[in-house]
Amino acid sequence: MSQLKQKQTQSQSLSPQQILQTLVLQLNSNTLEQKVLDELESNPLLESVDSNEDDQNEDLISEVDYEDDPDEFEPANIYSNQKINEDIPIEEQLDFLQNLSNQLSEFNLSEKERDIAEEIVWNLDENGYLSLDIILIADRFNVTENDAEKVLFKVQKLNPPGIGARNLQECLLLQLNKKNQENHRKVIELHFDKFVNHNYKPIVNALGLKNKELENIIADIKKLNPYPGEGKIKNSNDAIIPDLIISFEKNEWKITINDSWITDLSINRDYLDMMGKNTTSKDTKLFLNQKFDSANWLIKAIEQRHKTLTSVMNEIIKYQPNFFNGDISSLKPMKLKDIADKLNMDISTISRSTRNKYVDTPFGLFELKSFFTKSFGSDGGEDVSTKVIKDLLKQLIKTEVKQKPLTDANLADELKLKGYPIARRTVTKYREELKFPSARQRRQITN
């Protein structure tokens, strides 16, 4: 006979307010402006006010008396671009990440699995790759790395193919799903290094292929998309509006959040009065309570965004003194975790604060994530930023003899002479990140 047992477990779940704060923090200036305008249009309790009315409206939030639990209502999805028109059916206009999020409904995910999947989707970089180590996501949601990876595999089934990959090799493998592509998979899975370095003879011998067969396989692989999120997650044609502006005033850095276009937001007093009247119907009160929550939480989420972005930018300035003293080629190795530890925040929060956001400095416009670089040990025993290595690599390629471009091995030798003993494989990786083609392709381009 089976026995009933009770088991006590601890689990974390985000409140609606925390979810909204997370989503607002993710937005850059371009998208935040539109979402605020959308909310002003759809929410009668939210209004823009003159700055001299702020003090009057500051106390409105505390005046509301709820008949029901305020947490019963969740705010409208700040990411939703859906336009509702009862007369004319309009195709939903969804941004790329929201579209991916909507596709998750195709899977039978538990609430926690859905939260993990959302976390993965919103941490995809501009190329569509997962920019956060899966173990960090597992730790955030208090699950095993294996459990988090199972959710990742489901995200990787979303369209377009290749989305959610952690590297180029995985991205290509995710796109090879036809029955007649078994040898294609073997080339990428078993002989990837040889493939990217055009070392084809060992591949032919290992797989028992003819040269023509391998040529056809290579032609097919070249048709795959190595950057499934490019131009979709961040539109390269959009004008870049800085999210922060910093200036050096009175011997210190002044940080300004560039959202002056957001008029001061407040709660509409007339609707608040209606909520408190006995003559107002219960359905109307429920509707107004819901809209009150949405407006109130949006105001607080924008305030929290201010504080977080300011704190993160302030720590970046402290961590990179040489850069902000004018030597913009000098960056110390810095990871998201370094700033997260200083501010006692989650790494994912720092990631959202810096992703697709730009700062206007006296030295130019920079993407926040460009200040985060890995470290490399030089021959002199000091840790240097990988940006230094990439800048040198870029200079070597740009000044090479065009009729005889440097191979990755040559580039590795040149870097070693400059005190940076980089493996050829690493040079290949950095060259691809810089979007430079191989030596053979560069030579063909110049001919």
Examine residue 90 and state whether it is found in any structural domain, yes or no: no
Domain of 402, CATH number, reads: 1.10.10.60
Same-domain pairing of 289 and 339: yes
Same-domain pairing of 316 and 426: no
| Domain stops at, among 355, 371, 387 | 371
Same-domain pairing of 248 and 364: yes
pLDDT per residue as tens digits for the range 277-312: 888 788 888 888 888 888 888 888 888 999 999 999
Same-domain pairing of 335 and 399: no
DSSP letters spanning 217-266:
HHHHHHTS-S-TTBTTTB-TTSPP--SEEEEEETTEEEEEES-TTSPEEE
Contact 348, 357 (CB under 8 A): no
Same-domain pairing of 310 and 384: no
Same-domain pairing of 345 and 403: no
Examine residue 25 and state whether it is found in any structural domain, yes or no: no
pLDDT per residue as tens digits for the range 28-39: 887 888 788 888
DSSP letters spanning 115-158:
HHHHHHHTTB-TTS-B-S-HHHHHHHTT--HHHHHHHHHHHTTS
> How many CA atoms lie within 13 Å of 22's alpha carbon, on the beta-carbon side?
18
Same-domain pairing of 349 and 404: no
pLDDT greater than 70 at residue 7: no
Same-domain pairing of 337 and 403: no
Task: Report the DSSP pairing between strands 264-267 and 358-361.
Answer: unpaired
Mean of per-residue pLDDT scores for the chain = 77
| Domain stops at, among 328, 356, 371 | 371
Examine residue 70 and state whether it is found in any structural domain, yes or no: no
Q: Please tell me the pTM assigned to this model.
A: 0.51
pLDDT per residue as tens digits for the range 403-435: 788 888 888 888 888 777 778 888 888 888 888
Same-domain pairing of 398 and 366: no
What is the identity of the amino acid at 58?
Answer: E
pLDDT per residue as tens digits for the range 225-279: 888 887 666 544 456 788 899 988 888 899 999 887 676 788 888 887 787 788 8
Same-domain pairing of 309 and 340: yes
> Looking at the 3D structure of the chain, how many domains does it have?
3
The per-residue pLDDT for 375 is 59
Examine residue 89 and state whether it is found in any structural domain, yes or no: no
Examine residue 285 and state whether it is found in any structural domain, yes or no: yes
Contact 366, 251 (CB under 8 A): no
Domain that holds residue 391: 375-446
Task: Report the DSSP pairing between strands 244-249 and 358-361.
Answer: parallel
pLDDT per residue as tens digits for the range 84-143: 333 333 233 346 777 888 888 888 888 888 888 888 888 888 888 987 788 878 877 888
| Domain stops at, among 316, 342, 371 | 371
pLDDT per residue as tens digits for the range 338-357: 899 999 988 888 888 888 88
Same-domain pairing of 404 and 354: no
Examine residue 298 and state whether it is found in any structural domain, yes or no: yes
Examine residue 304 and state whether it is found in any structural domain, yes or no: yes
